[in-house]
Structure 1
Amino acid sequence: MINFQEKANFIWSIAELLRGDYKQSEYGRVILPMTVLRRLDCVLEPTKDKVLKQLPQLEKMNIQNIGPVLNKVTGVNFHNTSPYNFKKLLDDPNNIAANLRNYINGFSSDAYDIINYFNFNVQIDRLDDANLLYLIVGRFAEIDLHPDRVSNIEMGYIFEELIRRFAEQSNETAGEHFTPREVIRLMVNLLFNEDYSDELVKKGIVRKIYDPACGTGGMLSVAAEYLADLNPDAQLKAFGQELNPESYAICKADMMVKGQDPSRIKFGNSFTNDGLKDEKFDYMLSNPPFGVEWKKVQKEIKDEHDNLGYAGRFGAGLPRVSDGSLLFLQHMISKMKPVQEGGSRLAIVFNGSPLFTGGAESGESNIRRWIIENDWLEAIVALPDQLFYNTGISTYIWVLTNRKSEKRKGKVQLINAVNFYQKMRKSLGAKRHELGEDHIAEITRIHGEFKEGKYSKTFDNEDFGYQRITVERPLRLSIQVNSELIEKLKEQTAFKNLAVSRKKGAAARAEIEAGQQYQQQIIDALQTMISDTVYKNRDEFIKLLKKTFKKQGVTLNSTLQKAIIYALAEKDETADICYDNKGNMEPDPDLRDYENVPLKENIYEYFEREVKPHVPDVWIDEDKTKIGYEIPFTRHFYEYKPLRPLEEIDKEIKQLENEILELLKEVT
């Protein structure tokens, strides 16, 4: 890894040449595509002369598609037919821009597509105008990025380190971070853990892996390398999609250099423009940008949810617009192969929000319910904080599959690995912790053994479900008529609307005058009821109210009656219970409460045991009962830490006081 740091630092130092002509946030527009170009240049360098020598012969033979032939010469999935490389570009300083374009245009289509997505033509002009282009090409020509000197893993680290630094200068949000290699290795372990003994060791197996937010391709690369080490005769075909043009270009370049088919990497938004719509995959893994809103694509996603339901990707529900994490998970589930075709396994990184955000029957809860009730959730691993470059928050790996082993069926494993880390000698952005090889091996072992222990707990699927019951208490009102409360009536909307008209001109004035007269009649009728009497029974007061209004010749409809009661009544626990027209007790909204009853428990037994002894006059509104699912991870691993003895705290305070006094003496 020293080699990786040296190379990354050298490339980073080239960015200093841009100072003054470029803003710091713009450095990546030059350095990243030049790094890709130099990598491709170094890969092709040993075969460059052979390609140029064979090119005229192929043209004479009038072969229509010379690409496969030249790729065979280069030994990789791309080639370059331009006479230039980085060294030859430096031979002609006066025409550096035109020659560099000639060189880029000489790449085969997939390689050219990579550079094109960097929009590098704009930067060529800008660098040339600033007399920087020759200097930049010259500095990059000094660094050797051939795979024999810089392995694919190291090249991935260089890409990600450069992107991380440029992202920090651009003040990108904490959710848009990059996944450390050791976290990817753990995810790959968990992904393959159940398949070691039979599936992955078979001779000549071919499997497909997918990342819907593949970034620079780190996850796909590590997975492919891992399987190659486990079974050199296996083939893992990598597929992915990426929204950021630069990350897409880097990923495609990485796949090309490693012998993967770069056409399997698609550009665009996985939600609205799924580039691999009809594909299904054996394995999937992803670290999507969590905590990022999906408002820009809300219409398309909501339309799919409403119109296609479970025939689409988002039938289970939609999370809140402020966080689209669970949309990625639903998208990945839609890519699972049917069980009869071998099924699929996936691993995804989330923050804590998808575990518990959203109440019963909210979008998030319904998605969790759909996943758990289908028995797809295999395990969740809580990772240490400060593992990622641009954010220090706690994260979790979710492992899902539609082909659980027999012992795992109907079960979910939670693994608490928050203390499995070592401190880094030097921080990288917000990354201060890392997983050591021993930590990865231990977490993998705990997952594979599937046993209860200090760091592992197993639950039935139903343990995460609950019934949210609505607990009501009766409405009790005391009513009195006095001048102050009559004034409150004048503020009621129903009363004020009596003197409002939608008509125009004379008709409106007449209607308003009639309404004002009616208002005064109501006030006059109520003033005849003013007394010190407090009515504890609402029905008794309503009878008196109706009788009084009838006697005064004032019409009293239900809307007006309700407004009068609202103005004159107060909540009173000593008053009689209020009943509706059907003889049912009316609930008091201010006293309404909710209880989450475990799905395994009878709600009526729970109610009689936990609620009714404390509040005897309560009841359950059965029409409002909802099913919810949440995963209270921290609660299951909570360890009580007793408070320190008062004597110890007092001793520490006195010690601090003495230290402060000594410091003050030095000052004075």
Structure 2
Amino acid sequence: MTLANYIDIETTRDELIRACKQAADLIRTRVDYKYILVLLFLKRLSDEWKREYNEALKYLIEKEGLSREEAEELAKDISFHRFMYPEKYTWEELRKNVNELPVKLSEALKLLAEKNPELQGVVDRLDFLEFTRHRDNFDILVQLFELFSGLNLGRTSDSILGDAYEWIVGYFAPQKAKEGEVFTPSEVVELIVKIVAPKPLESVYDPAAGYARMLIRAYDYVKEKYGEEEAKKLFLYGQEVNPTTYAIAKMNAIVHGIKDINLVVGDTLKNPRFKDGESFRRFDVVIANPPWNQDGYGEVELKKAEFYEERFKYGYPPNNSADWAWIQHMLASAKRCVGVVIDNGCLFRGGKEKTIRKAILMDDLLECVILLPEKLFYNTGAPGAILIFNKQKPEERKSKVLFINASNEYEKHPEVRKLNRLGDEHIEKIVNAYREFKDVEGFCRVVSLDEIKENDYNLNVTLYVFPKEEVEEIDVAREWEELKAIEEEIRGVEGKIEEFLAELNYRVS
């Protein structure tokens, strides 16, 4: 097969997911799965650059009348490429000598970062030389490299590449959750994005960005509803404390076709990195699943933080749970609305958390509380909650809060035993309930702030709405007939037993 023919072959979704499954089986728990993501990213960039090069070469020769020698040199110009890629480190060149693979990969990633400022601290984050000091890891690397060599990702769509990244992250989520890594199930991400409903020209901010999955879904939501050109007008911002997670987030956004995303590294609660003059920046929509019950962010620590008086004006949380510190930061950073996935316990715990909760309620910022089903999350079986805050409440919603009890809205997870998930119909039911903002018996209820005050500012959803229990209808006449028939049968059996005993006594005597 010629190179010209090869670049026209598009790897399908099934082929790519199959390769990802083989890669996952290959490394299992022996190797950090992030190395798979980096290799997949590099393969994408290499194949894409090769396709762009050949297309430019053809154009320059056939349309511009350049000689092949002139065209070959000019086709490398950045004007023909999304990223500058070092030609001597294309996948085909790297494959020529697998014994030098760790060194060449490290050199390739370093050069990519140098040539593309937006990839600095991203592709050069993982060290393949350190990784392959163990001989077994070298063998795994070679096998992974050969596995991906069978793919051509030059024309594969961003959505397919994005699905592959999502599959890999989701596959290893149960394992990484045990190590403390936060993973928000994709259907929970879908639910919160549909509720906050970002629009073109709005800014969306995630202060606990993780792999940027909420921001990516916000982009896709606008793309699906308003079109790709309108989606490009959405401004995405995220801050992540872990540099390696930040690197994967940046790659994740790029493979999803989102190059213009503003991601930064840093501790959000202590030092929010997005500034607007002498203050922190505000955004139209703020969404996040911050670490639940994070310790170490009590009053003493938060008073050392930047802009602490503005960001934590409702009070300081206890040292053993930063839930309401995250919520306050998000509220202070929002112009329109906030959507946060949080531990259910922060809805009703007392002490300092109750003081903060009361003050926020009195400012009439809370719009909706959603109790999620149990066993949705990989790192806990406890039900989480979603809080929706609205700084632009319509008149008819003022001094009211909608409580949605979605504890029964789930199906069994098809791949992970003992886990549940939200199905499409469950997501739509919850979103519609939020939009309609009215009572539905056993599912949701609009509650006044006065009633919440009577309950001592407790936001426990089951205080306000409890699912209807399925009551089985009983046909009394039929049940009575069946009971009489059973009694008749019992009398018949008793008669036979008496006859048997009488005959037995006769024989003995």
**TM more than 0.5:** yes
Residue number in structure 2 paired with 1:447: 434
Deviations 1:248-279 (A, max 9, x none): 11111122334434561011211123221332
Question: Are 1:395 and 2:348 matched, yes or no?
Answer: no
Checking the alignment, whether the CA contact within 8 Å between 1:38 and 1:145 is kept in structure 2 is yes
Residue number in structure 1 paired with 2:212: 217
Residue number in structure 2 paired with 1:461: 449
Of all paired residues, the percent bearing the same amino acid is 25
Checking the alignment, whether the CA contact within 8 Å between 2:370 and 2:461 is kept in structure 1 is no
What is the number of residues matched between the two proteins? 440
Whole-Å Cα distance in 1 between the matches of residues 92 and 363 of structure 2? 59
Distance 1:109 1:641, change over 3 A: closer
Shift of 1:13: 2.3
Structure 1 residue runs without a partner (length 5+): 17-23, 338-343, 466-597, 600-627, 645-650, 652-668
Shift of 1:136: 3.6
Shift of 1:210: 0.9
Shift of 1:319: 1.7
Residue number in structure 1 paired with 2:348: 356
Shift of 1:120: 4.4
Distance 1:140 1:166, change over 3 A: farther
Distance 1:373 1:3, change over 3 A: farther
Distance 1:95 1:328, change over 3 A: same
Distance 1:182 1:153, change over 3 A: farther
Whole-Å Cα distance in 1 between the matches of residues 104 and 14 of structure 2? 34
Distance 1:109 1:440, change over 3 A: same
Residue number in structure 1 paired with 2:424: 437
Distance 1:215 1:15, change over 3 A: same
Whole-Å Cα distance in 1 between the matches of residues 171 and 365 of structure 2? 37
Shift of 1:629: 2.6
Specify which of 46, 55, 80 is matched with residue 73 of structure 1: 80
Specify which of 110, 126, 140 is matched with residue 148 of structure 2: 140
Deviations 1:161-216 (A, max 9, x none): 24415415xx324xx43112211111111112xx8xxxx4xxxx411111111111
Residue number in structure 2 paired with 1:41: 46
Checking the alignment, whether the CA contact within 8 Å between 1:214 and 1:241 is kept in structure 2 is yes
Checking the alignment, whether the CA contact within 8 Å between 2:299 and 2:317 is kept in structure 1 is no
Deviations 1:647-666 (A, max 9, x none): xxxx9xxxxxxxxxxxxxxx
Deviations 1:339-364 (A, max 9, x none): xxxxx112111121110112xxx321
Distance 1:39 1:271, change over 3 A: farther
Whole-Å Cα distance in 1 between the matches of residues 431 and 141 of structure 2? 49
Residue number in structure 2 paired with 1:371: 360
Structure 2 residue runs without a partner (length 5+): 1-12, 61-68, 473-482, 484-509
Whole-Å Cα distance in 2 between the matches of residues 15 and 220 of structure 1? 29
Checking the alignment, whether the CA contact within 8 Å between 1:90 and 1:134 is kept in structure 2 is no
- Which amino acid counterpart does residue 117 of structure 2 have in structure 1? S
Specify which of 3, 7, 10 is matched with residue 22 of structure 2: 10
Residue number in structure 2 paired with 1:594: none
Deviations 1:274-308 (A, max 9, x none): 2213322111111112133235x875413349xx6
Whole-Å Cα distance in 2 between the matches of residues 255 and 103 of structure 1? 21
Whole-Å Cα distance in 2 between the matches of residues 155 and 106 of structure 1? 25
Whole-Å Cα distance in 1 between the matches of residues 96 and 465 of structure 2? 66
- Which amino acid counterpart does residue 215 of structure 1 have in structure 2? G
- Which amino acid counterpart does residue 284 of structure 2 have in structure 1? D
**TM-score, structure 1 as length reference:** 0.59
Distance 1:413 1:5, change over 3 A: same
Question: Are 1:333 and 2:335 matched, yes or no?
Answer: no
**TM-score, structure 2 as length reference:** 0.76
Residue number in structure 1 paired with 2:248: 250
Residue number in structure 2 paired with 1:496: none
Distance 1:320 1:2, change over 3 A: farther
Residue number in structure 1 paired with 2:173: 164
Shift of 1:316: 1.3
- Which amino acid counterpart does residue 291 of structure 2 have in structure 1? P
Question: Are 1:109 and 2:95 matched, yes or no?
Answer: no
Residue number in structure 1 paired with 2:410: 421
Shift of 1:220: 0.9
Correspondence 1:189-588 to 2 at 5 A:
189-192=194-197, 200=199, 205-232=200-227, 233-234=229-230, 235-261=233-259, 264-278=262-276, 279-294=281-296, 299-304=300-305, 311-337=309-335, 344-358=336-350, 362-427=351-416, 431=419, 433-454=420-441, 455-465=443-453
Whole-Å Cα distance in 2 between the matches of residues 163 and 119 of structure 1? 20
Deviations 1:441-479 (A, max 9, x none): 1111111111112112112223322xxxxxxxxxxxxxx
- Which amino acid counterpart does residue 460 of structure 1 have in structure 2? S
Distance 1:8 1:322, change over 3 A: farther
Whole-Å Cα distance in 1 between the matches of residues 30 and 291 of structure 2? 21
Root-mean-square deviation (CA), in Å? 3.5
Deviations 1:316-371 (A, max 9, x none): 1222222222221111112123xxxxxx112111121110112xxx3211221222
Shift of 1:118: 3.0
Correspondence 1:657-668 to 2 at 5 A:
none
Larger radius of gyration: 1
Whole-Å Cα distance in 1 between the matches of residues 50 and 378 of structure 2? 34
Residue number in structure 2 paired with 1:665: none
SS of the aligned residue for 1:160 comes to helix
Distance 1:221 1:130, change over 3 A: closer
Checking the alignment, whether the CA contact within 8 Å between 1:86 and 1:137 is kept in structure 2 is no
Distance 1:165 1:435, change over 3 A: closer
Distance 1:29 1:436, change over 3 A: closer
Correspondence 1:78-157 to 2 at 5 A:
78-107=83-112, 108-123=116-131, 130=138, 133-145=141-153, 147-148=156-157, 151-157=160-166
Whole-Å Cα distance in 2 between the matches of residues 379 and 57 of structure 1? 63
SS of the aligned residue for 2:445 comes to strand
Whole-Å Cα distance in 2 between the matches of residues 227 and 182 of structure 1? 17
SS of the aligned residue for 2:234 comes to strand
Distance 1:275 1:40, change over 3 A: farther
Shift of 1:81: 2.5
Specify which of 621, 631, 635 is matched with residue 459 of structure 2: 631
Checking the alignment, whether the CA contact within 8 Å between 2:282 and 2:334 is kept in structure 1 is yes
Distance 1:261 1:33, change over 3 A: closer
